[in-house]
Every structure is written in structure tokens, then in C-alpha cells.
Structure 1
């Protein structure tokens, strides 16, 4: 069930029970600046939670919203905002409808109608860009999570911050993994095809891939932008087949990813070194529920988190189990991103001790959240969250920021980098369809 534009009262009574730890990060614990916002719950601070809950990215947006909800439940159960006399946090959840213009409208309503103190969101790059423009206009802090387009933090805005990686980091992770493939299989060069949705996200990914690939002497044999929402991509995948590419780099959201993958399978397009997806639809459980396993077998996917965390940290294992029990799906990078965004918002409020927008902006700018066994904010696995002068988390990615997996026997096997590997090996060259 999609929960659109709802107000979630998050009190001390929980259905999502987790072991709790004290709030760290050196926050001021005085109550001198406690806000007495009118609400049925007493001291309450509102945070806008802005995600695509309908449209092409709906299942992805819902996972972000679930992660944020789960984190806020834990924070409230642990005493709320201690520097504001234990104020509880309420999430006001709004829907971008997976559309940039609707993201702007929803963001403005959160600010003018719902009186939120700051906003987290909004996954799609175009939505992050448009919504954050509104937040900047109203001088309300906007913590971007999900959108990787360069422009999110390149416009000189002082109320906009991004936790996650940029498109450059995403592509670097795949290119560095392919460097390892080239070494292992004694490949002097590669030929590659680019196919991508033609908004900021896909176009950025393709541009950066081409720049890094050209530095290595690889040859581009196809550069194919695609308009979102096509019902059939047979003509595009036949171009890939005719190109003779070794590798295909893909950037599509869920609906388009389904259409593309089915077309690749239907036309038996063989790529000896695989499809390499920049996350997007291939990170969405709805994709895997909609296509047959043979459609995505051997595909490489760039995941925006450290997938080894579930195995390596007991508290992450607990959260993963609670995600499964409460929301009915395996914890994903999207759930982790929503959780982390909510915790960053909480830390900013705890540090500022007030809902004053300028004080919150400065508090976000000065956050220094380090990953440790005790720190529960970094479910996404980043080594730290420290923002630079442009508002970009300087630890938001890079060649070791995420995980490259290959689907083998319908399951993701973590391969690159070595720090995130589950100990498996890549299946390469990939068997032709006629040999499977």
C-alpha cells in the first residue's frame, strides 16, 4: 500500500523494536532552546520526508520512506531530541510522483503548509534538483539522498546538502572493477555500448563513463540515449547486438529497466563481459519480481552501499531482520539511505538545539559522523559523513564506496572492491545464450 502525503505520528509506543544506544556526535544536551510546537504530542519537530511514492520509481521511494520511518521510530524511542527537551520527531511524508515539477510542488507544500523544519529526499536526480531549488528559495535545509547528478551540489546553494555519492563515484566503482577484470583476463582494451535514460542522471552516467573509458583506450561503439517510458526497446537492443560490444553500461529506472532487460533476453544479445548497470532499476526488488531469473543472470550491478555490513555488524543484522519482519522485504540500499538521511537530520537538530533554519544549516555543515560499531546512523556503510563547502559528503563514495555484484543463480554475489567481497568470483566471459 502506498502511503502518500501522510503525517506519521512517531511516539514512544513502537512496533519496530530495536536495541537502542545513546545519542553521540558530541551534541549539546541542554534544553535552553527547546521548541514548543503546537501538536497533539507535545514537543514535536516536523521533518519533511519527500520521495517518489507513485510513478516509475514508486517501489524505490517507498523503501526510502520506510527506512526513514524506522530510524525515526528508533530515535524517538531513545528519548527524541535531547537538546530540545526530548522533543519527538514527526515525519510528514510527501510524494514527488517521480516527476520534477511535482517534486517542487510537494516540497513547497511541506514548507508552507506543513511547516517542516528541514527536508530529506528525493531519490531521482531531477526531483532532488527541483525540490532543493524550492528549499533554497525558502531558506529551509534540504538533505538530498539518492540523486547523484552533479548539479545537486554545484549550484552554489547554502541550504542544500547531499549525503550520498555523485554520478562520478558510481561510474568510478564500475570502471575500477572492470580494470580488475581486464587484468585477470589479459584484456588490453574493451569495446563498450552506452544506453541510458536521457535525464540528468542517465546522461551524467554516460558522459562520465565515456571520459574514464576513453582515458583507458577503450572504444565506444554505441551511445544511445532513450526517452523514459518506452513500451518496447527492440530497436535499441538490436543496435547493441550489431555493435559487437564487449560491455554495455546501462542507466535506467525500474520500469525502463524491465523493458530493456526483457528485450535483451528476447533478442538473445550476447555480451562477453556483461551488462553493467549503474544501480537504478536493478537495485529495486520490483525489477526482480517482474522478470524471469534468466533475464538478469550474470548482470553486474553497482549497489550504493556496503553490502557486507549485514554480515559484519550485529546491529545491521538486527535492522535487516526488522525490515523483513515489519515491511516484508529484504533490506536494500534504498532502505539504508532513507534510514541514514533521517539520522543525519536528527543529528543536525540535536546539534543545533533549535529549529531555526540558519542554525540547522550551520549544524549540518559542521556534522562529523564517523562509522563505528556503536554508530547507528551509517546503515548505508559510508566511512563517515562530513560535508564540504559545496554541501557534498566527502565520504559519499569513490572506488570503494559501494559494491559491485554479479547475479549468479538468481542471487547477487558481492565481488568488488575486495573490502566488500563475499568471497565469490565473477563468471566471465559470460556464456552465450545458446550455451546456457
Structure 2
């Protein structure tokens, strides 16, 4: 995947610049997109890039759009202009992300930015956008603090970790009622960047409020190469549930270490990210079964929203892989930004920002199982929702909320020697 990521460089094309007047026919509207295209998370970045490019192709009417999809309207109020995605590679490094944001704004003359998947990179890149007065639409980063900074130019479509972590504890309570089993003993196992640290604080707070016991709490170094001592500590604490926040490499390493040490809790609750990356199941195969994760998207929800399957089919035709929660959010971010550009009828920053503030997209126009997209005063989408999925038979299936579940939860997670 690193080789593939290396091919993802873009050539700067002449287009309208930052602060330009309304677009003329056939103009290119340049949008900066910052993802990890090389480094440990390159495979994730490749999928995010492909999803963004699919959204752009639909907006530009290069491929037919399923009826009702918000991106399918194109840019009629910009006289047939096309969006051009200009990519930046942050390599998983917050400082590189900030540098790429500045390059895209000052050299590539983009009218808006999107990205950056890693919450700590989104934090630095959006600070640059804020300084320059350029709209930044974030589709994938979930650290709650990102929309608590009182920024003027930052908007986020995905729900954040306050909601996701709250869903974890609600789900555990519902499982206790359903099974009659006690799931009050929890281990926290999170990477130590902005995302993992903030998640841990939320988990500690809610565990205390809802009378769960934290049997062990470990913040491990991001991009670690071994987890033996950490997993031994968790195994000794014997929690009923692990709540884990890991990017791809760490998620795979932890599962391999769990198996090596023969550790299998009743439930592993993953905080999306690496556990839902397409490479996770490609690498783990059957050893990735029964992981439970929070999510914002699942293919099996197409029974309730036909757009999910229709757009996923387009993604699969182009890339050979299905959407996952990460890439579906990247697609949605570009679609929402394009909707705002069209309503703005201009590439001026103030006009785009005003259009984003007035966004009101119904659920019927999205591929996400949300109530829609509408931003509050802090730029946070008020209408996003979370679901919980479990790996069953090599697929991520919805298991909670129970009223939208397509499969029952497999519980407890089978021991390694009983699979």
C-alpha cells in the first residue's frame, strides 16, 4: 500500500485562487485534502483519498449519481464549475499536517480544506486554516475538543467521542439487561495522542458516573512495536470488557498479542479507526472475528437507506473495496462541502462559511444513518448518530441499537481455543 500511496501525488493546475470571485463556466474550484498518504496509516489514507475522489466525480457529473444523493446536484449555481481535489500528505505527523495546510492555502490557492483523519493532525491543520480565514470541513476526526475551540472557520460532520463513548456505556447497560450478566469491570487501552487521551478522560468520567469499575487503564505509545507487557497487565486485571482506541497498526498488533497470550475478554469494544479499516480484516482474517466497534456507517443499513448500497457499489467498482466508517465519512465530507459551495454561489471564504453555517441536509440525501447535517454554533453537526457493529463471518454487521440491528450480538467473545 505504500507504493500505491506514493502514486497519489498531484500536479498543481491553474485555477481560481483563494478569495476569488464567483466561478465562471469550466473553472476549477480547488479544495485541499490532507490525509496520511505515506507512513504507517498509508492504507487508510489511500481509502480516504479514493472516497473523496468518488464524491468529487459525482459532484462533477463524471459518473451518474443515484437519485436523491446530495452530491448529485453538482454545482449549478457556479455555472458548471468543477471541483479539483489537491492532496496533501501529513504522514501521521501534526507538524507536517500544519505545513501541508499552509502550502495548500498559500501555494495551491485552495478555497477550502478538508481532512485529516488523525485528530491531532486535524487540530494543527485547522489552526492554520483559522489563521488564514479559510473554511475547514472535517469529516472523520472524533476528538470532542475540536469543536470546543470557538473557531470561526471549522466545521465537522461526524459525531464526536462524547457521543461515541456515551454509546458504549449505554450499550453495556442494554447488554446487561439482555443477558443478565454483569459487565461492570472495564479495562481502558488507548493510544496516547490527542484522540486516545481525550477518549480516556471521557471513559473515566462516564465510568465513574455510571458506576463501572476501571480494572486497568493503559495509554500506550502511538505506533508502538510491542504490547506484551501491556496485555499482560490487562490479562492480570481480568476485566469483562476492553475499551480500545487504536489506529490500524496498533489494532493488528494488539489482536496478535491477545492471541499469543491467550487472552480473551467477554467483549472487546473498539473505538472504530484501525479496527474498522479494510486492512484489519484482510490481515487478521478469522482472528478479527467478534470484535465489537462503534461506527457511523454499515453496509447492512442499506435495507433502510438504498443510497448506501448504490453509492457503495460505485466505490467497489472503482476500488475493489467497500466503504467503511472512515471512507464513508470522507465521502460525506466532500459532498457536504460541495453542497455549501453550490449554495454560496461563490468561492469567497466568507460566502462559503455562511453557506456552511446554513447547511440543512436531510437524512434522505446522505449515505450515513444520521438524521441529517446541520451545524451548531461551534461548527458541530447536530444530527449525527452512532451505531455499534460486530465482525461476524468476515462482515461488519449492525448489532446496536437493537431496533436497527441486523444480527444479534455474539456474546461472550469465544476464547481463542474455542473458535
Provide structure 2 residue ranges, at least 5 long, that are not aligned to the other structure: 14-20, 62-71
Residue 429 of structure 1 is matched in structure 2 by: 412
**What CA distance in whole angstroms lies between the structure 2 residues aligned with 1:364 and 1:249?**
34
Asked if structure 2 preserves the Cα contact closer than 8 Å seen for 1:141 and 1:159, the reply is: yes
Residue 67 of structure 2 is matched in structure 1 by: none
Find 1:305's aligned residue among 275, 297, 305. Answer: 297
- List aligned pairs for 1:7-26, cutoff 5 A: 7=11
Residue 272 of structure 2 is matched in structure 1 by: 279
Are 2:139 and 1:149 equivalent residues in the alignment?
no
**Alignment size in residue pairs:** 398
Residue 214 of structure 1 is matched in structure 2 by: 208
Q: Tell me, what secondary structure is at the counterpart of 1:6?
A: coil
**What CA distance in whole angstroms lies between the structure 2 residues aligned with 1:200 and 1:404?**
23
1:73/1:261 CA distance change after superposition, 3 Å: same
**What CA distance in whole angstroms lies between the structure 2 residues aligned with 1:239 and 1:8?**
51
Residue 76 of structure 1 is matched in structure 2 by: 60
Find 1:44's aligned residue among 28, 32, 40. Answer: 28
Q: Deviations over 1:160-213 (max 9, x none)?
A: 111111111111222211111111122355111001101111111122122222
**What CA distance in whole angstroms lies between the structure 2 residues aligned with 1:259 and 1:334?**
20
Are 2:388 and 1:388 equivalent residues in the alignment?
no
Residue 407 of structure 1 is matched in structure 2 by: 391
1:103 Cα deviation after fit: 0.6
Q: Deviations over 1:350-393 (max 9, x none)?
A: 11111111111111111111111xx2xx2233211111111111
Q: Deviations over 1:290-320 (max 9, x none)?
A: 2241x22221111222544333333332211
Residue 162 of structure 2 is matched in structure 1 by: 168
Are 2:95 and 1:125 equivalent residues in the alignment?
no
Q: Tell me, what secondary structure is at the counterpart of 1:418?
A: coil
- List aligned pairs for 1:338-377, cutoff 5 A: 338-372=330-364, 375=365
**What CA distance in whole angstroms lies between the structure 2 residues aligned with 1:261 and 1:79?**
43
- CA-based RMSD of the aligned residues comes to 1.8
Find 2:219's aligned residue among 186, 204, 225. Answer: 225
* TM-score under structure 2 length normalisation: 0.90
Provide structure 1 residue ranges, at least 5 long, that are not aligned to the other structure: 10-32
Q: Tell me, what secondary structure is at the counterpart of 1:363?
A: helix
Structure with greater helix percent: 2
1:56 Cα deviation after fit: 2.4
Residue 18 of structure 2 is matched in structure 1 by: none
**What CA distance in whole angstroms lies between the structure 2 residues aligned with 1:331 and 1:169?**
22
* TM-score under structure 1 length normalisation: 0.87
Find 1:379's aligned residue among 361, 367, 375. Answer: 367
Residue 186 of structure 2 is matched in structure 1 by: 192
Asked if structure 1 preserves the Cα contact closer than 8 Å seen for 2:60 and 2:83, the reply is: yes
Asked if structure 2 preserves the Cα contact closer than 8 Å seen for 1:4 and 1:94, the reply is: no
